[in-house]
Structure formats: structure tokens, C-alpha cells
A = this chain, B = another copy of it.
């Protein structure tokens, strides 16, 4: 961390400031220029709020953190790509996995029909919501624990590993047989939940919040990793902007940028980002090309009947056609789908 002092600060004030910093347990290094004096701090500065120091100390012109505030997720600390083992399916650079399934688990018939179909089309994991975050308290909240059981039935039927969303930490004991626990966009900064899934020994799919920066996403992953769980998958799913013609704005720049900064795998959810079914296929193709490690695609056996999020779901035939196309593209990128 570096602080640049204002021009003409007295030696007395500089001494007072450096003593204060040292009282916090840091070493300081001072360099005196003709214009500005610069003070470098040495030590673990993660707990210091730079802005506070600048504004609370009149003699400081500005301050800046030189090193990133995240450690465990940082690629400079851990250069090799992390392999997340999602119920036997590796999510990692070089592979490309496709997670498909409905927004909500609705019935045993539905989830098994979808699971069989997406597996036949080439999906390598199954998704389905049992606990649903809904903006309105009057909307359908999912089947809850029964939904988890139906998902597991579909897993037994097809062998596909399953991913589903947890809404709060008291639900975690119910997730013992689930392969990947999803932390949704609205919970990306539910720090107590992050800490709790960090104590689990199970992969976590962490979705970027609607208004969260990439640094905040990495800090949330850091919460999980600092708890001892290094099996974290990051997911770009669109951010909130002024544009209203799509539900959210898919930020595909996030993929290569995250992969520079962290060793964790990064996947893309084009369905929630766009909110429009006709955009899912082109955005999925773009996600493959931009370097993502996988996709999460909403797929429903009868989107027109779905009361929630039908607008963004592919039907089973559309998904099959998309997979045919995506497999050619995964191959073109020299990547592999599945366990091979």
C-alpha cells in the first residue's frame, strides 16, 4: 500500500503519520521527492480501508493498494488451473461442460424427462431449482426438500451430477448428496452463507451478483476458499445496466479477465443474462469462443407452460440442436466435453 503526501507537509506531520501507521503493525518506507513524499507500507494490508486513511489524514493526497486484496484465489499465488470435480465431471481449463435443466423442478416426470433428454443431447450435468429466490412473496418458491429428492432421482436415472441452489445456511444439511451447491447472484455477498459453504467439502458454483464487480466476485470466492474449500466455480450471468432490451447485460469480458486473475474455472449462464430465448444460442457460442470453461443453460420440456422464466428457456429440441452446434465448437477450440 502506498500513500502519497500533499506537497509541503511538515516533517512533524509526516513523523506523526508514520508513527500512527506503525502503531497498526506495519513497517513503513519513506521516499522524499521534490514534489511529493511517498510512504510505502509493508505487511498484510488487507484489513486497511485505503479511502478512510486518505480522508481522515489531511496530509495524505491519495493512497492505493498495490497488491490485490485476495490471496487464495489469486493466480499469482497459485498459477495452475484448479480442477473442480463435479461428481466425477472435471470443470477446468481445457474441458468444457454443459449444465442443463429447468429453472424449477416441477415434478418427477418433468425432471426425469428433461434429464434424459439433455443427457442424450450431450449435457454433462443437470440443474434444477428446488429452493427458488423470487422477488415476490406470492410467487412459486420451488418444491423445496421434495425438489432435491426429485433431482436426486433424476441423477440416479441418468448418472448426471446435479447442481442446485442453496438459499440459506440452515438448508445445507439437505445438500449432502447434491454434487455442486449453487450460491445465487442475490446471495453473492451473503457473507455468512459463503463462510458456511467454505466449511463444506463440496464444489460451489458462485454466481456473480447483478451489481458486483469482478473484484467483489473474487473476494466472495476468497471467503469460500479461506474456509478451506477450494472447489469453487465462478459464473458470469449478466449485470444490471441501463439497457432494458435484455434482462441483464452479459459481460463476456469477465471471462478472460477472471481467467487472468484467478486459477478457478469460469462458466457462463446466457439464459438468465439475456432473459430472451432467441439470444441463448448466439451467446452460448460466444461463451465458447471467449474461453469459458462451461455453460449453464435453462432447458424445459414445455417452456410455454412454465410460469417462471419460460421466456428464457430452450425446449428440448432447441437444446439438442444447440448441443450439436456447440460440440463442433468445443472441438474447434481443442477442448473436451465430459470426463475424457
Q: Which residues from chain A sit less than 8 Å from chain B, CB to CB?
A: 2, 4, 24, 27, 29, 31-36, 38, 40, 42, 44, 46-49, 51-57, 61-62, 64, 66, 69-70, 133-140, 167-170, 186-187, 189-195, 209-211, 213-216, 219, 222-223, 226-227, 239-247, 249-253, 255-257, 260, 273-279, 282-283, 285-291, 303-304, 306-311, 329, 332
CA distance A118 to B243 in the complex (A): 35
CA distance A252 to B239 in the complex (A): 13
User: 5 tightest CB-CB pairs across the interface, nearest first?
Assistant: A31-B31, A211-B211, A289-B289, A55-B311, A52-B310
Chain B residues with CB below 8 A from A273, complex form: 253
Tell whether A303 pairs with B56 under 8 Å between CB atoms, given A33-B31, A168-B193: yes
Q: A57 is contacted by which of B282, B304, B309 (Cβ under 8 Å)?
A: B304
Chain B residues with CB below 8 A from A190, complex form: 168, 186-187, 190
Instruction: Check if B167 sits within 8 Å of A192, measured CB to CB.
Output: yes
Q: A226 is contacted by which of B29, B138, B211 (Cβ under 8 Å)?
A: B138
Chain B residues with CB below 8 A from A38, complex form: 2, 31, 38, 40
CA distance A133 to B219 in the complex (A): 12
Q: How far is the CB of A37 from chain B (nearest CB, A)?
A: 9
Q: A241 is contacted by which of B4, B24, B239 (Cβ under 8 Å)?
A: B239
Q: How far is the CB of A45 from chain B (nearest CB, A)?
A: 10
Chain B residues with CB below 8 A from A29, complex form: 33-35
Q: A219 is contacted by which of B56, B137, B240 (Cβ under 8 Å)?
A: B137
Instruction: Check if A310 sits within 8 Å of B55, measured CB to CB.
Output: yes
Instruction: Check if A66 sits within 8 Å of B61, measured CB to CB.
Output: yes
A213 nearest CB neighbor, chain B only: B243
Chain B residues with CB below 8 A from A169, complex form: 168, 170
Q: How far is the CB of A107 from chain B (nearest CB, A)?
A: 17
CA distance A329 to B308 in the complex (A): 37
Q: How far is the CB of A259 from chain B (nearest CB, A)?
A: 9
CA distance A306 to B140 in the complex (A): 44
Chain B residues with CB below 8 A from A279, complex form: 253, 256-257
Q: A260 is contacted by which of B64, B192, B260, B278 (Cβ under 8 Å)?
A: B278
Can you show 22 pairs from A to B with CB atoms below 8 A apart?
A: A2-B2, A2-B4, A4-B64, A29-B33, A38-B40, A49-B310, A52-B308, A52-B309, A53-B310, A61-B66, A62-B66, A135-B219, A136-B222, A137-B226, A211-B242, A213-B242, A249-B253, A250-B253, A253-B273, A253-B274, A257-B276, A283-B290
